[in-house]
């Protein structure tokens, strides 16, 4: 399949039989977008902007520009990443040179844990909008359900170096998210790192106006999140995968003793069979499960390569083989949050 990046948005000039079948099953349009429960569309493949501290922000800015040039229109960011100014500059530059228009970009922002109190929600959103130089976000999600003490510190700690938790009724936080949507500051709202119990708390809230459009969670062949995926599908909520390639091995969050997903021989054998990279197979696996998938790279070659994810289809047998790789193993070390009343647990 030939990819043509137009000034408006990513287009496909022709579909293979497998790609057409996949689009029909996933209800993807020609731009590889999925309709969410509020009627808005989200590109099925997204570019993640999180970078470890040692990576210079300028690299993230350049990588974002390259991603847009390659054809990415879905960009995932967050207040806590500390790079929204850089990402915003990259997007504004590509708008200025005519590569894209603002409406071509689907940008996700996230409500950080120190802003969970309902009176603080809009403040976090407005700070992101100012940094990005946007009038609205396409998607605004609660970054995680674990509230932290409000203030200027993103990770407030006590004298012993332990995180200072806050206790907030997330249903009230959600009402403030709904108000942001009503104000036209965001088009869609969702959550991240929520388990089934926490999703039910929002869905069963009296007077619920908008239900979450998606739940962004860690998801990869070692942590396939089957029960959570089934629940979300039953409620018409999309699941979105981060760490889809097994994480960036960030020392701050990842246990360095954990196995490297992309070096798994099972994944390698399947990749060889299709003459694709293990990364492409891992991404394709999630798409065929109906999951929106994020990934990050600083190199043009990998960005271009991973756009080939729409050019092939894994067989049912190979999907089952990858299913069998599941270890219920999380790469993200959330030990600092242990003890929090809303600590998310793996539902499987």
Task: Supply φ then ψ for residue 190, to 5 degrees.
Answer: -155, -165
Which H, E and C letters describe the chain, residue by residue?
A: CCEEECCCCEEECCCCHHHHHHHHHHCCCCCCEEECCCCCEEECEEEECCCCCCCCHHHHHHHHHHHHHHCCCEEECCHHHCCHHHHHHHHHHHHHCCCCCHHHCEEEEEECHHHCCHHHHHHHHHHHHHHHCCCCEEEEEECCCCCECCCCCCCCECCCCCECECCCCHHHHHHHHHHHHHCCCEEEEEEECCCHHHHHHHHCCCCCCCCCCEEEEECECCECCHHHHHHHHHCCCEEEEECCCCCCCCCCCECCCCCCHHHCHHHHHHHHHHCCCHHHHHHHHHHHCCCEEEECCCCHHHHHHHHHHHCCCCCHHHHHHHHCCCCCCCCECCHHHCCCCCCCCCCC
Both structure tokens of 137: 């976000």
Alpha-carbon distance 298 to 18, whole Å?
A: 29
Q: Provide the β-strand partners of residue 190.
A: 141
User: Among this protein's residues, is 81 annotated catalytic?
Assistant: yes
Both structure tokens of 22: 């996949």
Q: Are 293 and 287 in contact (CB under 8 A)?
A: yes
Residue 27: alpha-carbon gap to chain centroid: 19
Among 10, 81, 107, 285, the active-site one is: 81
Residue 265's closest CA among 320, 319, 321, 307?
321
Catalytic residues: 81
């Amino acid at each position: 399949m030939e990819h043509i990046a137009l000034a408006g948005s990513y287009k496909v000039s022709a579909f293979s039989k497998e790609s057409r079948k996949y689009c029909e099953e996933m209800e993807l349009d020609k731009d590889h977008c999925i309709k969410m429960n509020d009627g808005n569309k989200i590109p099925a493949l997204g570019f993640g902007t999180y970078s470890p501290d040692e990576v210079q922000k300028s690299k993230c800015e350049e990588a974002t520009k390259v991603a847009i040039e390659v054809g990415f229109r879905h960009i995932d960011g967050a207040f806590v990443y500390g790079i929204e100014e850089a990402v915003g500059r990259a997007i504004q530059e590509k708008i200025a040179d005519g590569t894209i228009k603002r409406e071509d970009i689907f940008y996700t922002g996230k409500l950080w844990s120190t802003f969970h109190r309902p009176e603080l929600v809009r403040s976090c959103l407005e700070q992101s909008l100012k940094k990005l130089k946007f009038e609205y976000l396409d998607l605004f999600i609660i970054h995680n359900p674990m509230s932290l003490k409000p203030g200027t510190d993103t990770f407030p700690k006590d004298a012993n170096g332990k995180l200072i938790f806050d206790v907030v009724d997330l249903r009230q936080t959600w009402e403030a998210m709904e108000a942001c949507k009503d104000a036209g500051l965001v088009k869609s709202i969702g959550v991240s790192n929520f388990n089934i119990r926490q999703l039910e708390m929002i869905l069963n809230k009296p007077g619920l106006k908008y239900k979450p459009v998606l739940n962004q969670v860690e998801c990869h062949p070692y942590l396939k999140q089957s029960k959570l995926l089934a629940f979300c599908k039953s409620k018409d909520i999309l699941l979105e995968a981060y760490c889809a390639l097994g994480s960036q091995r960030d020392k701050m969050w990842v246990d360095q003793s954990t196995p490297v997903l992309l070096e798994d021989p099972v994944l390698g054998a399947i990749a060889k069979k299709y003459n694709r990279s293990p990364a492409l197979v891992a991404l394709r696996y999630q798409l065929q499960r109906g999951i929106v998938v994020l990934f990050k790279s600083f190199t043009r070659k990998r960005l271009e390569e991973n756009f080939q994810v729409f050019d092939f289809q894994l067989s049912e047998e190979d999907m089952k083989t990858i299913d069998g790789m599941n270890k219920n193993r999380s790469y993200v070390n959330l030990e600092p949050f242990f003890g929090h009343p809303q600590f998310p647990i793996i539902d499987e």
